[in-house]
Structure 1
Amino acid sequence: MHKYFIYIFLFISLGCFSQGTQEADSLLNVIKTSNKLEDKARAHGKLALLNLLSDIQFAKKHLDSSFALYTNINNEKGIASSHLKLAVYYRLEGEYEKGLNHIKYSIDYAEKTKDTFNIANSLFQKAVLYSLKSDYNESLEVFYKILAIYEAMDNQGKVGLTLNSIGITYNDLQMYPEAINAYKKAVSIHEKMQDSVNLPNAYSNLALAYANQKQYDLALNFYRKARQIDINTNNEWGLGINSENIGVVLNEQEKYTDAIIYFNEAKRIFDANNFKTDLTRVYTNLGQVNFRLKNYIKSEFYLKEALKSKTNSKLVTKEIHNNLFELYKATNRYELALDHYEKFNVFKDSIFEEERIKNINELDKKYQTEKKDKEIATQQLEIQNKEAEIEKKQTLNIIAIGSAIFLLIAAILIVFIFKQRQKRIKEEVVSLKRQHQIKTLEALIEGEENERFRIARELHDGVNGDLSAIKYKLSSLLEMNNKIINEAITMIDDSCKQVRAISHDLVPPSLESFSLVEATEAYCSNLNEAYNNIDVNFQHLGEDINLSKKNEINIFRIIQELVSNSLKHAQAKAINVQISHRNNQIQITVEDDGVGFNANEVSAKGIGLGNVKSRVDYLNATLDLISNQSGTSYTIDIDTKQIDGN
């Protein structure tokens, strides 16, 4: 399970910021046009912050530019700020010693200028870096210093954040009661403040502590609380993380179908926002849960996608190779299984060696503890002296901060009102376009269904009636015992059967009389009787489906078209059709073990996905297609609350 670790400390140090393209464009314009080096340096720094989570290498280029410009004009404050941001960058890259080297400069400048707020922020990054290095005692020591500073300032928001971070450190030490105690204190503070930004962080980390003790119901309760706040505040990253965490807990409870729904939501969010590290992890989770459901085609696809991302985490890479080894072993592809087993062992040995070195370093640190204790005592005396000076300047700082906050709130309100107005206009345009598209699709689909009814009626009432009359007249000549007449009557009987079959295929009687699930089951059963060399299997999972007849017909036509494509083109031995329904989410899956096709050439002869895509659009649904030499898999996800006229 993933924790909010990076999220909390990134924003504590640097403040909340928008990832909007408008701000990025504005900053790029400053870099290109401004004649002031200080303005250029500041713009480079802000642009780096905007991209730290989405494109870290792009962010590094702008951090270097900002640092170089501040150094060129000898701006000490800017240089110290750049060191702080570089510490965050190296923390995200896993180069913790480099991060500690940079944070030292930031701390020195904050102490030199007696800037209490930046002293605490810089110490925060130092504590996080120690924690990531597994130097937990040093980390806790620094966190408690920060807690004392914020309590002296009576800054309850920062006190809550610090307690949350202390809880994370105890959790890493597997001291779960201590972790839960710290988290609950943080939750209490953020709930009183109605802090919708930091409260979900505390909920999520509290859930992780319970999950680590296998108290899954408590864990799910707090993850869902955090997720609901993320939904209310449009926090895409937090929503993705908490959806993934819920999926992990459900997977541990062997509720695999429910887990997939949450993993898919996390995948959609991470993919849309280009959160590459998170996307690697959720691909791995999707590979695992599909393997447990024996959906081997999907499992292989997601695990390969995870491997393509080339994550810096050896633990994640080791897990991916292990999962691929298990998959290929289960599907009797032993050469591939052996290859991934060997790679798994390489990463396993590498991680073991790193742990061995870390243990040696821990022993050395314990040897140096006594010396450090003396240094800490000296530092505490210095802090006490500085706190006396801090108290004298608090009044002036509060006035300055209050004025700045007032101006900032006024500016934010103006921008917010303007953006809301633009948003309403765009929504109205999109709504009108959507209504027009729905009416057009509805007319096309209704016309197609009417034509099907007309052709079926003509075949049944016209051609079938004529064939029956001819059969009757020929039967009257049977007394002549004419062999040719007997053969003609047999041929007419076969023609009548074919006409009835075509008529029923165009307008299945079961679809008019029964539900979507019953009609689909009857359709698959009829195909099994008609095709001796292909197994057509049907499975229904979850709750009953209650839709309008029009929407049921559209879903049935989609299934009919996809199964027909497999029968005609796939050369398959088995076709699996599955309908699942949980929590207003319908998922349709049609899979075959045929030869597959090039998914980029969907308009190729015999594929015929145009009609399917039109119906999917009409239902406000999404279509996911995976096809390779092992077979083809279609997945349609439908939100029943989004279906017009349901």
Structure 2
Amino acid sequence: MKSTSSLQSRLKVLHQTGVQQLSQEQLVSALNTFQQMLAIAQETESLEYHVEALHKIGIIHYSLKHYTGSIHCLKQIIKLAPAESKSVRVAKAYNDIARVYCATKQYSEALRYSAQALEIFIKIPNINGVGMTLNYLGEIYNHLGLFEEALQSCHKALVIFQDINDTVKEKNLKNSIYEAAALHNIGLAEYHLARPRQALAFFNQALEIRQKLCSSCPAKNQNKFPENPIKIYSETAQTLGQIGIVYFSMNNDQTAIEFYQKAIKIYQQNNQQEELAKLMNYIGLACYKQNHISQSLWYHLKAWELFEKIQDPQQKDNYLPHILSVYQRFNLADDGVKLYQRVQQLFHLMETEVS
């Protein structure tokens, strides 16, 4: 049997290895590493490493879309904490659980858990945590269609992040990330409230910050950066795409296409197939409005090709009816029906295999 000191050393090595694997997007390897760490932490009753392993495993499961496993791990963190505990770790666990519920479109549950996180951050107090949670609550409000509430929450978060950035000698990169997220969420709320010019103003502010962050991303030693560079580039593409959507709503189709194409370049580099499919579809709509029929059909079919590769059953209810309407638009209704039926069979087969 190994000594306690050697097991503690092993825990430290496993933690360092897992963090390094995460920084390199080696999710499966990192999952295996943190599971080993969890087993040793349980054996040695090392609470700190136990909680850390659970948190990392929960986050990895979330990234892999293993949502049940993610929630199971994150809720264990809350159970391990003393009843009176009001730690940052527990508050973060509440927020992370909310994020999982948001991903599964259980927005009321997400709202409930994030509200508990906010309560803890206020009591600690932890101003960064308060700002992060207010912004995330705004994101959830946007999903729920409560856009005025989203504006109020995100504006409060924005004040916090801008105040922090104004009081530090050097620009705090992590707070800049949060500031950009708040600006983006405000832009979304303004857009849904039919105020496109206000939406553009906030999206452009978010874009400016995110592009600066992209230029700050190191080519090497990524673990020294406060956030994964791939995530920062992806968020930049997200804002570019949203700006395109706003211009499309203002009937400025060519400008919309230009922003969509800028976002597409980033998604291609990151190999984000689902986001690529959505933007290809948006360009198809814009081309159709411009009466560029052949281009429109090409982009719609390209979107479908990408979507078919993703093979995500969660998307079928939203996407397949649209594919059928595209075929009808181009007088290809018979082909569209056949395609729709074929893909429905494919999804049924996939779901049978999964269950």
Structure 2 letter corresponding to 1:321 = L
Which structure 2 residues correspond to residues 55-454 of structure 1 after superposition, within 5 A? 58-72=26-40, 74=43, 76=46, 77-111=48-82, 116-194=87-165, 195-234=175-214, 235-293=232-290, 294=293, 295-296=295-296, 298-312=298-312, 314-315=314-315, 317-342=316-341
Taking the aligned partners of 2:274 and 2:24, their CA distance within structure 1 comes to 14
Letter aligned with residue 182 of structure 1: S
Counterparts in 2 of 1:166 and 1:328: CA distance versus 1, 3 Å: closer
> Partner letter of residue 328 of structure 2?
K
How far is the alpha carbon of 1:69 from its aligned partner? 4.2
Could you report, residue by residue, the CA deviation over 1:445-470 in whole angstroms, capped at 9, with x for unpaired residues? xxxxxxxxxxxxxxxxxxxxxxxxxx
Moved more, 104-113 or 123-132: 104-113
Displacement after TM superposition at 1:67 (Å)? 1.0
Question: What amino acid is aligned across from residue 42 of structure 1 in structure 2?
Answer: H
Residue type at the aligned position of 1:266: A
Query: Superposed, which structure 2 residues align to 1:46-61 within 5 Å?
Result: 46-51=19-24, 58-61=26-29
Instruction: Check whether the contact 2:273–2:307 (CA below 8 A) recurs between aligned residues.
Output: no
Distance of aligned partners of 1:166 and 1:172 in 2 relative to their CA distance in 1, 3 Å threshold: same
Contact 2:280 2:300 in 1 (8 A): no
The structure with higher relative contact order (CA 8 Å, sep 6+) is 2
- Cα deviation for residue 87 of structure 1 reads 2.0
Could you tell me how far 1:70 is from its partner in structure 2?
4.0
Whether 2:14 is the aligned partner of 1:41: answer yes
Secondary structure, in 3 states, of the residue corresponding to 2:310?
Answer: coil
Quote how far apart the aligned CAs of 1:112 are: 8.3
Relative to structure 2, which stretch is displaced further, 167-176 or 66-75? 66-75
C-alpha change, 1:277 and 1:109, in structure 2 (3 Å) is: farther
Secondary structure at the counterpart of residue 233 of structure 1: helix
Alignment of 1:483-632 (within 5 A): none
Distance 1:141 1:301, change over 3 A: closer
Counterpart of 2:89, as a letter, is N
* Shift of residue 227, structure 1, vs aligned partner: 0.4
Q: 1: distance between equivalents of 2:83 and 2:18? A: 22
Confirm or deny: 8 A CA contact 2:51 2:77 kept in the other structure: yes
Describe the superposition over 1:97-143 as per-residue Cα deviations: whole angstroms up to 9, x where unpaired.
33221112222334489571211111211233344455544433433
Whether contact under 8 Å (1:103, 1:125) holds in the other structure is yes
CA distance in 1, matches of 2:323, 2:102: 32
Instruction: Give the drift of 1:161.
Output: 0.9
Q: Does the 8 A contact of 1:328 with 1:336 survive in 2? A: yes
**Structure 1's 139 and 70: CA in aligned 2 closer, same or farther, altered over 3 A?**
closer
The 8 Å contact of residues 321 and 343 in structure 1, kept in 2 or not, is answered as: no
CA-to-aligned-CA distance 1:423-455 (integer Å, 9 cap, x gap): xxxxxxxxxxxxxxxxxxxxxxxxxxxxxxxxx
Q: Secondary structure at the match of 2:251?
A: coil
Evaluate the alpha carbon distance shift between residue 347 and residue 157 of structure 1 in structure 2; reply closer, same or farther with a 3 A threshold.
Answer: farther
Q: By how many angstroms is 1:93 displaced?
A: 4.3
Percent identity over the alignment is 18
**TM superposition shift of 1:322:** 3.7
Aligned CA distance change for structure 1 residues 119 and 248 (closer, same or farther; 3 Å): same
Q: Quick one: structure 1 residues 348 and 308, their matched pair in 2 at CA, closer, same or farther if it must change by over 3 Å?
A: closer
Q: Deviations over 1:283-336 (max 9, x none)?
A: 333333334332245324522442243153633x44543444334334443442
- Go from structure 1 to structure 2 and tell me whether the alpha carbon gap of 1:313 and 1:285 turns closer, same or farther (over 3 Å shift): farther
Does the 8 Å contact 2:187/2:200 carry over to 1?
yes
Is 2:87–2:124's contact at 8 Å kept on the other side of the alignment?
Answer: no
Matched position secondary structure for 2:208: helix
Residue identity in the other structure for 1:303: A
Rounded Cα–Cα distance in structure 1 between residues aligned with 2:346 and 2:143: 22
- Cα deviation digits, residues 177-209 of structure 1 (max 9, x gap): 222111111111112222312111001111111
Contact 1:201–1:226 (8 Å) recurs in 2: yes
| More helix, by proportion | 2
Per-residue displacement from partner, 1:478-535 (whole Å, max 9, x unpaired)? Answer: xxxxxxxxxxxxxxxxxxxxxxxxxxxxxxxxxxxxxxxxxxxxxxxxxxxxxxxxxx
Distance in 2 between residues matched to 1:347 and 1:250, nearest whole Å:
36
Q: Deviations over 1:579-618 (max 9, x none)?
A: xxxxxxxxxxxxxxxxxxxxxxxxxxxxxxxxxxxxxxxx
Distance between the aligned counterparts of 1:50 and 1:197, measured in 2? 17
Q: Distance in 2 between matches of 1:330 and 1:159?
A: 48
How far the C-alpha of 1:240 sits from its partner, in A, is 0.8
The answer to whether the 8 Å contact 1:290/1:298 transfers is no
Task: Show the counterpart of 2:4.
Answer: none
Structure 2: tracts of 5 or more residues without a match = 1-8, 166-174, 215-231, 349-355
The CA RMSD measured in Å over matched residues stands at 3.1
Structure 1 residues 69 and 150 mapped into 2: Cα distance closer, same or farther (>3 Å)?
Answer: closer
* Inter-partner Cα distance in structure 2 for 1:136 and 1:296: 34
Contact 2:284/2:300 (8 A) holds in 1: yes
- TM-score with structure 1 length normalisation? 0.43
2:3 is matched with which residue? none
For residue 278 of structure 1, report the CA deviation from its aligned partner. Answer: 2.8
Opposite residue 272 of structure 2, the aligned amino acid is: F
Distance of 1:118 and 1:189 partners within structure 2: 21
